[in-house]
Structure 1
């Protein structure tokens, strides 16, 4: 079948689906106009299964125009921010902290106390991401089936228990088991937060909000580093019969994670329709995100949308960008403290020397998400954030070993690449419409993240210590390729928008934004760059 025939068939099928939805919506509207009693209003309207939950809510419990227009949009946005951002930030902060506690503990004696074998640290880092990778499709499917926020809260609480159990490990094997379990339960975090962000915010607001909760990954190493530095003095004052400092570290953050998981379960709303906002505010929230054309929620898995994702070349370009940018990110997050300690610093000095890199990461996330949201240029900002890391990798690979200041500058610059991830999150959220399509793409995105983080630590082999030159050269090569692919993806989105502009806007049925259509099923959809 030719490409033109495939396109005609796809458009024909889409038109048929739209006409079916239009007829059902008209029937529903006529039925609701005849049913004005309170009892009748409580009946669920007869709508097709493939529509968004938001449309079912709006048809079942409409609000008057006066009720909605009386709500101040800026105040409503602030209320949404204060309800969501603190908990979402806390979850992402703990996810990053808990998975990197092992790196922090590596300079506090965990390697020696658990009799870790050669390359054992690399294998532990890989173990986490392998289990994360394997469980990501299952977690994404469960997120669609169950209430998103409550499902997230349960996972956070369970992985908090897993983290606390690290404090009683006496050997390498228990650490491996706990790393596997940690990967299983943490794999739901990013897809849950991405979906929740897409429910509540416009496409232009999403980038900055993802930057806010993603800053948890910038703040996390600062807090854990300062905590670890303080615990080093504990070791000096207590004999070996007491808890070691790294054991207290795992216990402390594990208990904190359990507490946050409980708060998420009870206080983070599953969707705008099921929140504690007033009825008029719920309707106003849905109306302000209507023009996203990406919907709110749909509990039915649609295999057509899954197939659409898998057959789209842009999906795999995005996947490659995530993999390539996370090779250095995974390597540095796991080996940052070890690399710095190899410069000749003491354990305490190594911890403090990692703080400038945390500041670089924080500023990069702030600037990147602000610039991308403000100027609609996610691709260009991603490239701008890759370049410093590429330069940092080059400095680390080719500067002489005695140039300590240059090498430190290099490892600090590498921290800019991690800030590309929230931009990639927001790029997917903004440009993938249809709930099953978004869920599938989120799974692919996070699986790609895992692959990059699996490859990254494995480039650091004990035989290459202390310089790790092959690993540092890998950083330079992968990032150069990532820049080329990012330029190509941004160009494809730009050209597709131009093509749709030339074709003109398509006449759509009422409430088509909540019919759970994909971005390919309507020419009116425009991709963000």
Structure 2
């Protein structure tokens, strides 16, 4: 079943190619669900789905930033690369990450989502392990390119999985839980770097063992993801009643669950939607400091005059603060069902306050510099709120995967620009790069305020124009875009 496209907003489409969930409901019938049933189901989903999503995101962050820790463990000296070549490694990763976003979005819609994600996790784990054999710039660059290809799948896949299983009011907290992987990944990386620096061998260096260990762990998680993470409610290991409950409770989202037919008109809808471009701009602007921080945090701390071992330990609070800010943001957004104000707060704290301390504190004021460095980690906590925007405010399966690809492409673009602001000529203070943190987050905060205003204006316009229209049965699963569906209202 599906729905024929409607070129005009408000035009009621004919049902000919709808969401797969509607076909399942028509085939299996109804099943009564009590409030207790729903609570038990959500608890079961949280235990089955969220830990695997966290594991994938934790490892994607850890694996891409291992090179940051390896750099202070002697990577540059052992492989004979320069500081500018090291900075270029971060750029290469995000270039291929960006290039593969749209192909991976298409494949994700056509293939079983969880199986596709699991395969990519396994393959990037293999690439991470192979870093242990890299001896020169060419080998490191090649592996970095391949890592970007396979890691491109993780965030859009997890956004899609979250929207398949959770109500819009539930999504910010669940996105926050799996996004905690950035904080836990930072903590694990710092502790591992400190521990491995005590390892000495004539055969392998400490950073080689680190790459080999985490690459092996990632491959194991890839297999577990492919086996145990369900592709959709309809094909999951839930009981018949639980599958129906999982579908029925998502009617209020009006974003559907799954449709394997790629619809070009929804791609066009995505590229002509104002919210798409505002979200993309916010993502680019806030990702410029994020890219710099994730790739150069250890280098920045070491530049304050600390040893490699001290740098590893002093990197731990960054991960802790990331975890705290992500949890606080998720809880706040879920409690008040408001994502935009949370984003603005995080950007002001991390970018303006933290970036300002980092950029403009005196070189001898180590406490202020470290505080600023730590506070900048709250900028990244705004990203799951943008993921939640994409999950909650974009409807139509093809439009959703396209919007997710655009969001991650914007994330890549910001992360490409960010590391390039750290030039060897500006060492050790890197003042221009630190000033860029303040400027870019200020721009992101202003754009977020504009997005909130747009959503509120559009909802009011729809209330005036379509408030009196009757509900059409099962329209929640017609695979309509948010702009086609006159009953759709945006969460801001």
Question: Who is 2:355 aligned against?
Answer: 393
Q: Is residue 182–residue 319 contact of structure 2 (8 Å, CA) maintained in 1? A: no
Question: Who is 2:24 aligned against?
Answer: 57
Of 442, 466, 469 in structure 2, the residue corresponding to residue 480 of structure 1 is 442
Question: Who is 2:335 aligned against?
Answer: 374
User: 1:289-326 deviations in whole A, cap 9, x for unaligned?
Assistant: 11100000001111111111111122111100000001
2:489 equivalent to 1:526 = yes
User: 1:466-525 deviations in whole A, cap 9, x for unaligned?
Assistant: 000110111111111111111010011011111222221422421110000111112211
Question: Who is 2:3 aligned against?
Answer: none
**Quick check: 202-211 or 384-393, which moved more?**
384-393
Question: Who is 1:306 aligned against?
Answer: 267
Q: Distance in 1 between matches of 2:346 and 2:442?
A: 12
SS of the equivalent of 1:334 reads: helix
Q: Is residue 505–residue 523 contact of structure 1 (8 Å, CA) maintained in 2? A: no
Q: Distance in 2 between matches of 1:523 and 1:510?
A: 14
Q: Distance in 1 between matches of 2:275 and 2:233?
A: 30
2:195 equivalent to 1:230 = yes
Alignment of 1:350-429 (within 5 A): 350-389=311-350, 390-429=352-391
User: 1:379-406 deviations in whole A, cap 9, x for unaligned?
Assistant: 1110000011221111121111111111
User: 1:438-490 deviations in whole A, cap 9, x for unaligned?
Assistant: 11100000000000100000000000000001101111111111111110100
Question: Who is 1:124 aligned against?
Answer: 89
Moved beyond 6 Å, runs of 4+: none
Alignment length, in residue pairs?
485
Question: Who is 2:419 aligned against?
Answer: 457
CA RMSD in angstroms, aligned pairs only: 1.3
**What is the CA-CA distance between 1:63 and the residue it aligns to?**
3.4
SS of the equivalent of 1:119 reads: helix
Question: Who is 2:231 aligned against?
Answer: 270
Question: Who is 1:290 aligned against?
Answer: 251
Question: Who is 2:207 aligned against?
Answer: 246
Q: Is residue 9–residue 486 contact of structure 2 (8 Å, CA) maintained in 1? A: no
User: 1:187-218 deviations in whole A, cap 9, x for unaligned?
Assistant: 00001110010000000001100000010111
Q: Distance in 2 between matches of 1:201 and 1:64?
A: 19
Q: Distance in 1 between matches of 2:69 and 2:7?
A: 56
Question: Who is 1:24 aligned against?
Answer: none
Q: Distance in 1 between matches of 2:490 and 2:468?
A: 14
2:306 equivalent to 1:345 = yes
2:479 equivalent to 1:516 = yes
Alignment of 1:496-511 (within 5 A): 496-503=458-465, 504-511=467-474
Q: Is residue 505–residue 524 contact of structure 1 (8 Å, CA) maintained in 2? A: no
2:134 equivalent to 1:169 = yes
Which protein has the larger Cα radius of gyration, Structure 1 or Structure 2? 1
Q: Distance in 1 between matches of 2:118 and 2:31?
A: 35
Q: Distance in 1 between matches of 2:379 and 2:272?
A: 28
SS of the equivalent of 1:11 reads: coil
SS of the equivalent of 1:196 reads: helix
2:184 equivalent to 1:219 = yes
User: 1:228-258 deviations in whole A, cap 9, x for unaligned?
Assistant: 10111113xx4xx221100000000000000
2:217 equivalent to 1:260 = no
**What is the CA-CA distance between 1:60 and the residue it aligns to?**
1.3
2:48 equivalent to 1:75 = no
Q: Which runs of 5+ in 1 are unaligned?
A: 1-7, 22-47
Q: Distance in 2 between matches of 1:362 and 1:264?
A: 23
Q: Which runs of 5+ in 2 are unaligned?
A: 1-5
Cα gap change, 1:488/1:192 in structure 2, threshold over 3 Å: closer, same or farther? same
Question: Who is 1:31 aligned against?
Answer: none
Alignment of 1:425-440 (within 5 A): 425-440=387-402
Q: Is residue 157–residue 261 contact of structure 1 (8 Å, CA) maintained in 2? A: yes
Of 3, 8, 11 in structure 1, the residue corresponding to residue 9 of structure 2 is 11
2:163 equivalent to 1:201 = no
